[in-house]
């Protein structure tokens, strides 16, 4: 009998410190940087974001989100036999955030590794976990997106520092007799590495280059809407479904205009668009599982609903997953 995978539980974690646009504008004003609540909302749709305290790491947030997902699935940490963490802000160069998180969860022995595809990371990680479950290599996978992007923001650059936040989201993906994950579609185009990157590295005990996030917002915007539509249509075709079958669109929460543009291209009413960017900002690989958990726990997403997850990020990477929840 063929094996499939389905989402058994979801969870999320946000740092307690909530920073509104007004809070951020006041902080930036002390640096001589001018911005405002209205300016940020008009361009991004963001009203607030969460920033982690200095001692809090991606694995801390990921572990908290994972505990919630494991509990929602009715399991214990010892039931997990695969851990994949999507992150661009790991705790350290190595070992992986997944291995550090594995220890915090009290799990030992199962494979644990990170996936680095920036804001597309959760879609990549979910696709890898699905393939390993289908192959019989795992039965219950913990798939996590966790980020502390506040650590790599240049607070002298108002075009980027207002966009991002910290957080984590997680799902438990388990083997099933009927399909949960219906199809996926992953891509990358390294010709566009320069439009969204952190061009620094560690050498000789020092940071070489620039360790702050750099982004060409216009270039990202132009690429994002087109590739997200293409990936969405590809997974619909692979799954033998149409736009009318989508109950909820859960895109990477980067910018409300990109998200709404994608929904329009798929002829979806805005009521089917899950939006958390207004309260979370852009949490990179954490944004999709954060939005998913928010919609599940609020009762909007129910068992049997068909979900389109899609992300786009530095690399340039993009992808989509269609699933029955």
Is residue 90 a contact partner of residue 146, using CB atoms and an 8 Å limit? no
Please give the Cα distance from 264 to 251 (Å, whole number). Answer: 13
Percent of the chain with pLDDT over 90: 99
Segment 175-185, tens digit of pLDDT: 999 999 999 99
Q: What is the mean pLDDT of residues 216-244?
A: 95
Q: What is the mean pLDDT of residues 145-160?
A: 97
How deeply is 238 buried, as exposed, middle or buried, from its count of CB atoms within 10 A (0-12, 13-18, 19+)?
middle
**The predicted structure's pLDDT at residue 147:** 99
Catalytic status, residue 161: no
Cis omega (within 30 of 0) on the bond before 316? yes
For the cut 90, the answer to whether the pLDDT of residue 125 exceeds it is yes
**The predicted structure's pLDDT at residue 33:** 92
Segment 272-293, tens digit of pLDDT: 999 999 999 999 999 999 999 9
Please give the Cα distance from 214 to 217 (Å, whole number). Answer: 9
For the cut 90, the answer to whether the pLDDT of residue 174 exceeds it is yes
For the cut 90, the answer to whether the pLDDT of residue 157 exceeds it is yes
**The predicted structure's pLDDT at residue 14:** 98
Percent of the chain with pLDDT over 70: 100
Segment 46-87, tens digit of pLDDT: 999 999 999 999 999 999 999 999 999 999 999 999 999 999
What mean pLDDT is reported for the chain?
A: 97
For the cut 90, the answer to whether the pLDDT of residue 1 exceeds it is no
Dihedral sign for Cα 48, 49, 50, 54, please. negative
Enter the pTM of the model: 0.98
**The predicted structure's pLDDT at residue 256:** 97
Segment 135-146, tens digit of pLDDT: 999 999 999 999
Q: Active site residue: 21, 252, 255, 280, which one? A: 252
Please give the Cα distance from 145 to 58 (Å, whole number). Answer: 9
DSSP run (H or E) holding 39: helix 37-44
In the chain the domains, ranked by start, together with CATH numbers, are: 4-177 (3.40.47.10), 182-324 (3.40.47.10)
Q: What is the mean pLDDT of residues 97-117?
A: 98
Catalytic status, residue 282: yes
Q: Which residues contact 208 (CB under 8 A, 6 or more apart)?
A: 200, 201, 202
Q: How confident is the model at residue 225 (pLDDT cuts 50, 70, 90)?
A: confident
Burial 183-222 (b: 16+ CB within 10 A, else e): bbbbbbeeebeebbbbeeeeeeeeeeeeebbbbeeeebee
Catalytic status, residue 197: no
Q: Active site residue: 21, 50, 99, 119, which one? A: 119
Is residue 88 a contact partner of residue 285, using CB atoms and an 8 Å limit? yes
Give phi and psi for 14, each to the nearest 5. Answer: -125, 135
Segment 9-42, tens digit of pLDDT: 999 999 999 999 999 999 999 999 999 999 999 9
């Amino acid at each position: 009998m063929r094996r499939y995978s389905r989402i058994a539980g979801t969870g999320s974690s946000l740092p307690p410190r909530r920073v509104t646009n007004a809070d951020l504008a006041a902080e930036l004003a002390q640096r001589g940087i001018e911005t405002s609540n209205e300016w940020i909302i008009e361009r991004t749709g963001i009203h607030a974001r969460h920033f982690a305290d200095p001692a809090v790491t991606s694995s801390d947030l990921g572990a908290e989100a994972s505990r919630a997902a494991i509990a929602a699935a009715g399991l214990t940490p010892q039931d997990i036999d695969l851990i994949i963490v999507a992150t661009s802000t790991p705790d350290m160069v190595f070992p992986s955030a997944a291995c550090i998180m594995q220890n915090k969860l009290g799990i030992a022995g199962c494979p644990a590794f990170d996936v680095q595809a920036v804001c597309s990371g959760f879609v990549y990680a979910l696709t890898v976990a699905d393939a390993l479950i289908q192959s019989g290599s795992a039965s219950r996978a913990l798939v996590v997106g966790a980020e502390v992007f506040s650590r790599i923001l240049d607070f002298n650059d108002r075009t980027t520092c207002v966009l991002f936040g910290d957080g984590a989201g997680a799902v438990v993906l388990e083997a099933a007799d009927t399909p949960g994950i219906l199809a996926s579609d992953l891509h990358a185009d390294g010709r566009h590495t320069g439009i969204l990157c952190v061009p620094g590295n560690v050498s000789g005990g020092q940071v070489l280059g620039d360790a702050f996030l750099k982004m060409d917002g216009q270039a990202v915007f132009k690429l994002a809407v087109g590739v997200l539509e293409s990936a969405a249509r590809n997974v619909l075709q692979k799954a033998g479904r149409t736009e009318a079958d989508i109950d909820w669109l859960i895109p990477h929460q980067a910018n409300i205009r990109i998200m709404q543009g994608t929904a329009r291209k798929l002829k979806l009413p805005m009521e089917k668009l899950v939006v958390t960017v207004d309260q979370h900002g852009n949490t990179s690989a954490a944004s999709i599982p954060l939005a998913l958990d928010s919609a599940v726990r609020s009762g909007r997403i129910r068992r049997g609903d068909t979900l389109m997850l899609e992300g786009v990020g530095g690399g340039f990477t993009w992808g989509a997953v269609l699933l029955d929840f």
